[in-house]
Amino acid sequence: MHNQEILDFIKENSALFWYTPEEDKKYISLEFLVETILNYGDEKSVRKLFDLVGIKRVAEIFYQQTSRERINYHERTVNFFNLYFKRHA
């Protein structure tokens, strides 16, 4: 279970989780949240994710996810955040 700030953040970005039933959104994993926000979120939501979770933790999750054989990130997203995290995390 997440703290209230993260639950509010999920609610603010609820449209990105349109396929998740409303009552199940509180169970969204941190990994899924990071993947969705980095893939589909705007600049404001990415910055807020960094503020809530921490840029180093987001980078850790991102690198864990992108090191797998099959990933759900867009190719441009992977390239952008690889460059971004090398410089800022």
Domain hosting residue 8, numbered range:
4-88
Say yes or no to pLDDT of 1 above 70.
Answer: no
The half-sphere exposure of 4 on its side-chain side, counting CA atoms within 13 A, is 0
Work out the pLDDT band at 89, boundaries 50, 70, 90: confident
What is the average pLDDT score of the chain?
94
In eight-state DSSP terms, residue 18 is: T
Residue 31 has pLDDT above 70, yes or no: yes
pLDDT of residue 2: 77
**Residues 56 and 45 sit within 8 Å (Cβ to Cβ):** no
Residue 81 is predicted with a pLDDT of 97
Number of folded domains that form the chain: 1
Where does the chain show beta strands of DSSP type E?
A: none
Structure tokens, 73: 């990130």
Q: Determine the Cα–Cα distance for residues 62 and 64; give it in Å rounded to an integer.
A: 5
